[in-house]
Copies of this chain bind each other. A is one copy, B any other.
Amino acid sequence: MMELGGIPADILSQHPWFPVNISGCHLLAKSWFGDTAYHVLLTDMKCVWEERMESAAIQSRAQELNRRLRAPVRAFYSHLREIVQPCLMGSNKEPASEAQIFLTRQEDGNIIMKLKSELAGLPFYWEFCCIPASVSQVCLQLVRPLLAMSRLLQHQVEQLRGLLLRKDAEIQDYKENGATLSRERLETEVFDEHTQREDFMAKALPLLCSEEQDSLGFSSELQHLYSVVTATDPTDQRKAPKRRLSEDPPLTKESDPTPSLALEEREAAKNGRSNTEATADDRSSVKEQSVSITSNPTERLSTKPKKKKVGLFK
CB distance from A270 to the nearest CB of B (A): 6
Q: Which residue of B lies closest to A145 (CB)?
A: B146
Evaluate contact between A136 and B47: CB separation under 8 angstroms. yes
A46's contact among B132, B150, B204, B262, by CB below 8 Å, is which?
B262
Evaluate contact between B188 and A181: CB separation under 8 angstroms. no
A188's contact among B133, B170, B204, by CB below 8 Å, is which?
B170
Evaluate contact between B177 and A221: CB separation under 8 angstroms. no
Evaluate contact between A48 and B105: CB separation under 8 angstroms. no
Contact residues of A between 235 and 269, Cβ < 8 Å to B: 235, 237, 240-241, 243-244, 247-250, 252, 254-256, 259-264, 266-267
Evaluate contact between A191 and B177: CB separation under 8 angstroms. no
| A11, CB-defined interface residue at 8 Å | no
A47's contact among B48, B200, B263, by CB below 8 Å, is which?
B263
**How many residues of chain A have a CB within 8 Å of chain B?**
111
Q: Mask for A63-106, Cβ within 8 A of B = 1, else 0? A: 00000000000000000000000000000000000000001010
Evaluate contact between B205 and A152: CB separation under 8 angstroms. yes
- Docked Cα-Cα span, A206 to B166, in Å, equals 25
Evaluate contact between B144 and A143: CB separation under 8 angstroms. no
User: Which of A121-129, A209-217, A282-290, A298-306 participates in binding chain B?
Assistant: A209-217
User: Which of A29-37, A54-62, A155-163 participates in binding chain B?
Assistant: A155-163
| A40, CB-defined interface residue at 8 Å | no
| A225, CB-defined interface residue at 8 Å | yes
- Docked Cα-Cα span, A108 to B271, in Å, equals 11
A-B contact pairs, 12 of them (CB 8 A): A24-B255, A45-B147, A47-B263, A138-B143, A142-B142, A142-B143, A156-B200, A163-B191, A166-B186, A209-B244, A211-B249, A213-B252
* Nearest 3 A/B pairs, CB to CB: A179-B179, A153-B153, A146-B146
| Other A-B pairs, 18, CB within 8 Å; known A43-B139, A108-B270 | A44-B259, A47-B135, A47-B261, A47-B263, A48-B143, A132-B135, A151-B212, A153-B156, A153-B157, A159-B200, A163-B188, A164-B167, A166-B188, A171-B174, A173-B181, A174-B181, A177-B182, A205-B228
